[in-house]
Amino acid sequence: MLFWILTGAMALVVALGLAWSVVMGRRETGPAEAFDLQVYRDQLTEIDSDAARGKIDPEEAERLRVEISRRLLAADAKATSETAATNQPKGISGAVAAVVAVLMLGGGFGMYSLLGAPGYPDQPLKMRMLTAQQNLRDRGSQAEAEAAVPQMPAPEGATEDYLALVEKLRAAVANRPDDLQGQTLLARSEAAIGNYKASYAAQQAIIRIKGDSATAKDYADLADMMVLAAGGYVSPEAQKALEQALQMDPKNGVARFYGGLMMAQTGRPDIGFRMWNALMEESQPDDPWMSPIRAQIEEMAMRAGQHKFQLPPEPGLKGPSAADVAAAQDMTDEDRQNMIRGMVGQLSERLATEGGTPDEWARLISSLGVLGDTEQAGRIWTEAQAVFEGKDDALATIRAAAERVGVAQ
C-alpha cells in the first residue's frame, strides 16, 4: 500500500505540473517582438534628439526615421499575431490538461500493471546472487521432482512383444545384478520405453560394476536419465553426476548442457548463457544438445541481459551450386575430374579445420571413392571414427558410405 501511495502521489504531482503548464503556459513578459518594439521606439527618440542638436543632417534623419518605422510596423504586426495565437480558449486548455492528467495517471498505472511486479521487493544484484545461491542449495530432491511428474504411457512404437522382452530382461538382471552387459541393455531398453527412473537405476548399477573404470560418459548418461525422469529438472543428485562427469572430462557436452540448464533454473541465467554459448561454438551441428540449445538460448540471453546476442545461422550441408553442375556438363572428362578433385579438396580441408556434419563426412568418403582414391577414403573413415566416437547414429551414416566404397573395417 505504501508503494502505491508514494507512486500515486508522485504521478499526481507530475500530472498537475504538466496540466498547469498547458492551462497557464504564457510568458509574463509577452512575446519576444515586444522587446523589439521598445528598441525601435528608443531609436526614433534618439534620432529626433540628434537631429535637433545638429549631429545628423535632416535628410539622413528622415531616411533613418522611415527605415526604423518600417521595422516597427513589422514587429508590431508579428507581436499582434503571436498574442492572438497564444490566447487559446480556456475550454480547450482545460480539456488538454485533463487528457494529460489521465494519460499520466491511468497510463502509468496500466503500464506498471502489465510490466511491473506489484508487491515484489527490491532485487539488487547482490540480493539476486544470494537468492540464486540459496535456490541452488535448497532446491528439491530427485525423489520430490519425480513425484510431481505424471506417469507417462509407453511410447506408441513399443509393441506388446517388446514390452514382454523388457519384462524378461528385468527378471534376468534381477537374478544377475552384477552382469554389466545385462545392466547396459536394461538401461537402454527402459529409456526407450520412457521408464527413465528404472533406466537411471540400471545406469547406477553400471557405474557400480565398472568402479574406477567408469567414464565421464557413464556419469553424463546417468545425469541425463535422472533429468528426464524429473521432467527436465536438474536435481542435486543429478548435479553430483554432472560434476563427476566434468571432473573426468571438462569437454563433455551433455554435462555442460545440463550444467547451463541448472544455472538457469536456480536464478543464474548469466552463467547458463555463457556455458551454452561456449558449448554451441565448440559443438558439431548434429550433436544432440545443439537443437535444445538453439531453441532456448535466445530466451536465456534475454534473461541474462545479453540483448545484443544474435543466434548464428544453422550450418547446412555445403555442396556445388546449380551453376557448378551446369558447367560440369559441358566439360571434358579430364576437366570434370579436376573440378571434382578441387571441390573434394576444399571439403576435406574444411572438415579438417572446421568440422562438419556426418552427411558431409559421408559425402567426402563417397567422392573419394568415385575418384578411385580409396586409400584416402580409408584414412577419412578412420578419422571420422575418432571424431564421432560414442555417437552411434552419426557413425552409422558415415559407415554406410565407407561400406559402399569398400573401406569400412
Higher pLDDT, 387 or 246: 246
Higher pLDDT, 182 or 126: 182
Q: Is pLDDT above 70 for 116?
A: no
Higher pLDDT, 240 or 102: 240
Q: Is pLDDT above 80 for 366?
A: yes
Q: How confident is the model at residue 179 (pLDDT cuts 50, 70, 90)?
A: very high
Q: How confident is the model at residue 87 (pLDDT cuts 50, 70, 90)?
A: low
Summarised one tens digit per residue, pLDDT across range 250-295 is 999 999 999 999 999 998 999 999 999 999 988 887 788 988 998 8
Average pLDDT estimate for 305-321: 70
The mean-pLDDT minimum among 194-203, 208-217, 332-341 falls in 332-341
Amino acid found at 402: A
- State residue 220's pLDDT score: 95
Q: How confident is the model at residue 109 (pLDDT cuts 50, 70, 90)?
A: confident
Q: Is pLDDT above 90 for 213?
A: yes
Q: How confident is the model at residue 398 (pLDDT cuts 50, 70, 90)?
A: confident
d(CA 348, CA 363): 10
Q: What is the pTM of this model?
A: 0.54
Q: Is pLDDT above 80 for 362?
A: yes
Q: How confident is the model at residue 397 (pLDDT cuts 50, 70, 90)?
A: confident
Average pLDDT estimate for 68-88: 69
Q: How confident is the model at residue 317 (pLDDT cuts 50, 70, 90)?
A: very low
Q: How confident is the model at residue 175 (pLDDT cuts 50, 70, 90)?
A: very high
Summarised one tens digit per residue, pLDDT across range 12-58 is 787 777 777 666 655 555 555 667 777 878 888 888 888 888 888 88
- State residue 329's pLDDT score: 58
| Coil, strand or helix at 88 | coil
d(CA 359, CA 406): 18
Tallying the residues shown for the chain, one arrives at: 409
CB 205 within 8 A of CB 177: yes
Higher pLDDT, 303 or 105: 303
Q: How confident is the model at residue 221 (pLDDT cuts 50, 70, 90)?
A: very high
Amino acid found at 13: V
What cell numbers appear for 52 in the block?
535637433
Q: Look at the block and give the residue holding cell 567422392.
A: 367
Q: Which of 146-160, 210-224, 281-295 has the highest mean pLDDT?
A: 210-224
Q: What's the sign of the alpha-carbon dihedral 354, 357, 358, 360? A: negative
Amino acid found at 110: G
Average pLDDT estimate for 79-95: 60
Summarised one tens digit per residue, pLDDT across range 182-192 is 999 999 999 88
Average pLDDT estimate for 195-221: 95
Pick from 289, 125, 257, 115: which is nearest to 265 by CA? 257
- State residue 83's pLDDT score: 55
- State residue 3's pLDDT score: 67
Please name the residues in contact with 319: beta carbons below 8 A apart, sequence gap of 6 or more.
363
The mean-pLDDT minimum among 77-86, 143-152, 346-355 falls in 77-86
Higher pLDDT, 327 or 155: 155
The mean-pLDDT minimum among 68-77, 332-341, 382-391 falls in 332-341
Q: Is pLDDT above 70 for 140?
A: yes
Q: Is pLDDT above 70 for 310?
A: yes
Q: Which residues of 99-135 are buried (b: 16+ CB within 10 A; e: fewer)?
A: ebbeebeeebeeeeeeeeeeeeeeeeeeeeeeebeee
Q: Is pLDDT above 70 for 402?
A: yes
Q: How confident is the model at residue 218 (pLDDT cuts 50, 70, 90)?
A: very high
Q: How many CA atoms lie within 13 A of 389 on its CB side?
A: 6
